[in-house]
Chain A
């Protein structure tokens, strides 16, 4: 195993213990404990020990719930972290359950942070897609897309991501025309972004998806063109594809 990760885990464990001692003597300091626990849980997840990560997140969940006035934002955050963990673990129904709980909490307390709610909806949609509940998935994608459009306008990376995800969904539904439309929109946005904003990984993904769509329509020439462009982009990346780690980030459907 990675020895730096091991060291990080050891030091995070010590901080958690110290925080536990503090919280034991002074229940008001549970907040710090929850923070330390999340750090450790995140490392555990990196290590691949999902069981330990799960029980750490769940400990902080119940610690927060035990407070006299649980902070709804914190609660929603822990729920979506847990959901993301279950998602990676392959426990899709639990993931859906926790994302929905997180959404419910944010809606009940009318969070200003519409971006986060939309992100959760996007991730939730991906889980429903994995569970083959495509109608539900489409609904959540649409809602998420609406929010992002309202927040950032049409010309934004996140909007493009949503178009991409919707495109993948339509493709899975064998609705190639709609899929093509979505991916073309995504491409249009991504190409128009300023060079600093362009994420070559995302752009190449769009080319690949678009290639698949053209292939399905029988337009092999354009399909090949797209795949070539994607390949060229990929070579500039040296095989490096940053994956979003925290649930706070917007997941991109790379399954096509």
Chain B
């Protein structure tokens, strides 16, 4: 590895340094745009006591759901976790903690974390259980909650294409939380479908500039569809 070349060739190297008790930010919405292989590598490593920040927690047997199988997750920070029976079971048995966070607040917490903004004010959640115990302030006659930023020891991200310098573009709505997570990891690992030559990506079309990215790896992806919906043939 030299200069700005961030490519690693094994998943073991991609997740090197992950330790028990760390916080991992994960991109993806539902099963769309999730770092499938990086998640599998966390499972393989059997790292435990993790705090995972991700909008959802996968499904049974796929995505972040696989990390529940061996009870590797201590806490999830998510906006919606309803698609996962094992999650439900561990939550009810007290083996897993969940911090439910509004989706926009979660996205903004990651964005702020990556941008060096320690906290921000939002109207989202005022007067609801989310606002309990949080500092509020009134701006222009309206009440706002203070929400603190999130950063992670690792961010695991799924991109479409990247160059060796770690410039990343995402495909369609597989973008979702990925560029936000990418900014907020102390070590940001991006797995992509294709690594292209430096210079091949249009600089003006880069979603995640390489400065945020520490490691790039090319993988192959199942891309499971959670809710396959087609229009009726007519």
A binds B: no
